[in-house]
Amino acid sequence: MRTLKLFVALLSTVLAAEIQAATYYVNSALIDGSGANNGTSWANAWTNLTRVTGLTGGDTVYISGGAAGNTNDYTVSYFGNASNCKNGTAGTGIITYKIGQDSGHNGGVARFTTTSSMIDTCSYMTFSGDAGDGLMHFEFANTTNKYCFTDTSQGLTSFLFEYVNCGEQPAPFCRVQGGKDFEVRYVYYKKLVDPILDHAVNAAGASTNASFDLIKIHHSTFITPQQTNTGTGNDILKSGGYGVSYYNNNLITYPVPSDPTGQHADGWQPGSARYAKFYNNYVQDVGGYGVYLEAISTSTGYYDTYIYNNVFVHTGQFTSGSTYAITCGPKEPGMTFSNVVIANNTIVDYTSTGSAGAIDIGDVGADNGWFTNCIVANNIAINAGIIRETDDADGIAMLNNIATNATSMFTSYTLYSTNNNYQLVAGATDYIGTGTNMSAFYTADKIGVSWAGVYDLGALKYVGGGGGSTLTRSIRNGTQT
């Protein structure tokens, strides 16, 4: 009898939650007065987001982008926090904002304008321009030096941001401090020159995160300004922290006459990291360091940090500064690098009239025991300088890496081209099946082909025939690959 009562109580709770969850509709193309304008259906939709009211956790708000070829414009103060388009809570659940799901409302684009950060306080929110066709049906108009989303609550959780064309913005893409559980995917963002904020993505994981993949940013394109032919410019990914994974992204710079930040540009520069992964990314024309693991104080370091299956390329020679695909080492004595893995990366055309190279890892001045259980394996550097371990640091295993100016191992290659195919050819016997087994850390190559326990060198597994793996970069509002 007691079991039955518990079951009835549980069922009542579930049913109550389902009854409370509501679906609402917003359509800026609808004329005021043509319906009740109370948000209860497309016929009675709210005509702008400023009229949204009464939301609670579990609710879904569908936003119309119109039929194919249309753009519906919306003005909003911001999403989340105390706005009328608020976020949910731990007690009530997630509030979802999503493009309409029928052809009359998801063929076009819903474009949002604000004078503040678009989303402020993001926990328990889904923000989705996904109509199931691989396109980004949400779009942001240019903002006034504000973030696409920000949350500094030290506890961002249960947030999904997807299929959004953020366009060209003067401010960074996001600022998150102490995130615990959120995901960004299928996003396009281009940063304009800004004299103060020198990065695109600032997403730090909370120190309470004790496992991988709690924060995931993937299948997105981030583009930042960089002074022509130099390494001076914006960092693309600013921070790491705990439990952060960056994968299947395009990280690209574009040239500008001058950059006021005065700092070297990096693809990923975490001040420290633990349970962090950077893999399957395409990194183009980052003139400082593609990945910059240089702890900045004795209280920081890198633990369980994996960098693998990435492709780093330059499309021209840099004329000043140092440029490396990956650099890893302490700036000051007493910093720790433990279980750092750098493996199966392909590094191409890293050249400069200054200092240039593929991978540089090691201690300052002499072996100080700061590296433990670190592996550098299966990397290829083509016309990209050296793969080196400096100062003979103990605790770093250098395994099966090749640096060469030969290019015959690739299906197609032209100096400084963005259209090369880095798939190995049958004759590349020094590279096929000669790698160290890395299955303890990952089991597939950059495009998802299983290594099946036999590892080649570089980011792409030889599959026979030498075709099928040209690395495509997403167009502004196209399918991401």
Positions in the chain short of pLDDT 70: 1-19, 143-144, 295-299, 331-334, 363-368, 391-393, 465-481
Instruction: Report pLDDT digits (tens) over 29-76.
Output: 999 888 999 999 999 999 999 999 999 999 999 999 999 999 999 999
* Rounded-to-integer distance, Cα 218 and Cα 234, Å: 20
Look at residue 263 in the predicted model and tell me its pLDDT.
83
Structure tokens at 127: 């923000």
Ramachandran bin of 321, using left for φ above 0, alpha for ψ from -120 to 50, beta for the remaining angles: left
* Rounded-to-integer distance, Cα 301 and Cα 53, Å: 47
Look at residue 44 in the predicted model and tell me its pLDDT.
97
* Rounded-to-integer distance, Cα 430 and Cα 72, Å: 56
In Å, how far are 25, 55, 85, 86, 125 from 80, measured between CA atoms? 18, 11, 6, 4, 8
Look at residue 299 in the predicted model and tell me its pLDDT.
66
* Rounded-to-integer distance, Cα 334 and Cα 479, Å: 45
CA 465 to chain centre: 32
- Cβ pair 85, 61 in contact under 8 A: yes
* Rounded-to-integer distance, Cα 171 and Cα 192, Å: 7
Going along 1-77, which residue ranges are E strands?
A: 23-26, 60-63, 71-75
Residue from 287, 330, 291 nearest 307 by CA: 291
Vertex 272: Cα angle to 269 and 273 (nearest 5): 95
Look at residue 363 in the predicted model and tell me its pLDDT.
65
